[in-house]
Amino acid sequence: MSEKLLCGKNAIVTGCARGIGKEILERFAYHGANLWACARNLTPEFDEYCKFLAQSYGVIVTPLCFDMRNLDEMRAAVKLLMKSELNVNGLVNNAGISLNALYQMTSERDLRE
């Protein structure tokens, strides 16, 4: 499949510093999407990976780092997104953790995590 399905589209991908999120980021870049690559921390490896994807696929990949548990950091990230004045065409909310509990038995703190 050589067609760029997302050419000219802009997407936000959370939790993309590793694992499934990293693969989602690469697939979107491969298909031509410009990306906001959201991760908890900006490491040199993550920054280099974003640059690699941008160069390899001819797209814009902007690292956007914040902790989703921190409301102030999330607000600051949204402000940065809004400053770009680009339309957001898609969101992949991949960030998350695994808890071994029934939903009804999960504390509010754990739900926020």
pLDDT at position 97: 73
How many domains is the chain built from? 1
Residue 1 lies in a domain: no
Find out whether 85 and 69 touch, Cβ atoms under 8 Å: no
Between 10-19, 28-37, 75-84, 97-106, the lowest mean confidence (pLDDT) is in: 97-106
pLDDT beyond 80 at 5 = yes
Domain boundaries, position 102: 10-112
How many Cβ atoms from other residues are within 10 Å of residue 82's Cβ? Answer: 10
CA angle at residue 38 from 37 to 42, to 5 degrees? Answer: 95
Q: What is the DSSP secondary-structure string of 15-26?
A: S-SSHHHHHHHH
Residue 5 lies in a domain: no
Where does the pLDDT of residue 86 fall: very low under 50, low under 70, confident under 90, or very high at 90 and above? confident
Q: Kindly report the CATH number assigned to the domain that includes residue 53.
A: 3.40.50.720
pLDDT at position 46: 95
Among residues 110, 111, 93, which one has the least CA distance to residue 38?
Answer: 93
The strands making up 10-14's β-sheet, listed across from edge to edge, are: 61-65, 34-39, 10-14, 90-93
Residue 75 lies in a domain: yes
